[in-house]
């Protein structure tokens, strides 16, 4: 099978992606600076699949990649997850997001092109849209990011278009919505402490691993809490693998939404976690996050048409996988 570069492979989504790629028989070379990512999931996967199938390197994408590509020749495509991704933090420190998300990606693309790698799957975000004019949101919706995180991802999408036009880069930019869950077997999950992801925080609260607080502002929805499209992390990564295979088979560049096509409010998620766990979560509030908006739901017909992908897992499935993960790993991965 093909040799694939995965950036951000020690992070939540990237580590699940690495697991799925190895299960499908790919050879994976992985990069992570391990500031927010973890070595432990990669070591666990390396022990299971072997170093000939998975090798990983501690690396900052703002540094030269030439020695890496000399050591790891034969890479056919890249799946690029590495990024800072905290909306609230991006409002407080935008320079960090432009320097890392934009600058690091520019450096990565230049190195890929210099070494003959012209296929990239890019982990983008629905945050490029900003406040929705209509829902569900399709790929033609205006892009008006409401925070530097979304702006940094939109800037990368613009770079990808120009590299595609001028230098022959083929890419899929996958704008995904709110991610939840763990691998189906509970082996690989989210280690951020604290997490900024609602479903993860709610499950940790229900399992009494940490206090749970509502961090959302009051918005104009029926129950006054934001509505989001929550997509399972395995479903999401199965779409990334379909995107990778699409490019390896000669597919053209596209920008595609990944979600479920359905929305749940914050309070609906709280009730779903209560139902699965048999607990009753507190609804105590704390300082609301900045840069949030009322409603965001994906229109996913393009993903179905281009990638033959649609989500298989429900919110209940995601909650159950997180219960498995946090029960086995209450403090997540060790650094």
- CA triple 60-63-64, angle to 5 deg: 130
Q: How far apart are the two ends of the chain, measured CA to CA in Å?
A: 31
* Helical ranges in the chain per DSSP H: 12-23, 40-49, 66-71, 87-92, 94-97, 105-114, 148-167, 198-206, 233-248, 266-277, 301-307, 315-328
Catalytic residue among 19, 26, 129, 149: 149
Here the tokens at position 297 are: 């739901």
Q: How far apart are CA 7 and CA 10, in angstroms?
A: 8
Q: How far apart are CA 176 and CA 259, in angstroms?
A: 6
For 56, residues 6+ apart whose C-beta sits below 8 A from its C-beta are 9, 10, 29, 30, 31, 32, 39, 42, 46
149 is catalytic: yes
Q: What is the DSSP letter of 308?
A: -
Active-site residues: which are they?
149
């Amino acid at each position: 099978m093909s040799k694939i570069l995965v950036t951000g492979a020690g992070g939540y989504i990237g580590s699940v992606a690495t697991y799925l790629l190895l299960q499908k028989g790919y050879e994976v070379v992985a990069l992570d600076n391990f500031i927010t990512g973890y070595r432990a999931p990669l070591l666990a996967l390396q022990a299971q699949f072997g170093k000939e199938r998975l090798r990983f390197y501690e690396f900052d994408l703002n540094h030269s990649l030439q020695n890496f590509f000399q050591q790891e020749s034969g890479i056919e495509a890249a799946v690029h997850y590495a990024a800072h991704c905290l909306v609230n933090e991006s409002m407080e420190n935008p320079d960090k997001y432009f320097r890392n998300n934009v600058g690091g990606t520019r450096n990565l693309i230049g190195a890929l092109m210099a070494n003959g790698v012209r296929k990239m799957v890019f982990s983008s975000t629905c945050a490029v849209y900003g406040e929705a004019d209509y829902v569900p949101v399709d790929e033609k919706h205006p892009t008006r990011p409401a925070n530097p995180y979304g702006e940094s991802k939109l800037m990368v999408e613009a770079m990808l278009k120009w590299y595609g036009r001028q230098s022959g880069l083929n890419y899929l930019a996958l704008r995904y919505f709110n991610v939840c869950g763990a691998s189906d077997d509970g082996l690989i999950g989210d280690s951020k402490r604290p997490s900024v992801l609602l479903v993860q925080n709610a499950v940790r609260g229900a399992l009494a691993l940490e206090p749970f607080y509502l961090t959302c502002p009051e918005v104009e929805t029926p129950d006054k809490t934001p509505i989001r499209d929550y997509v399972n992390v395995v479903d999401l990564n199965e779409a990334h693998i379909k995107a990778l295979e699409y490019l390896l088979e000669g597919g053209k560049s596209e920008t595609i939404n990944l979600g479920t096509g359905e929305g749940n409010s914050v309070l609906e998620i709280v009730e779903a976690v209560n139902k699965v766990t048999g607990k009753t979560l507190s609804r105590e509030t704390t300082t609301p996050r900045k840069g949030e908006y009322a409603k965001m739901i994906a229109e996913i017909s393009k993903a179905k048409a281009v990638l033959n992908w649609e989500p298989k897992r429900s919110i209940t499935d995601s909650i159950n996988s997180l219960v498995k993960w946090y029960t086995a790993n209450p403090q997540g991965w060790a650094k």
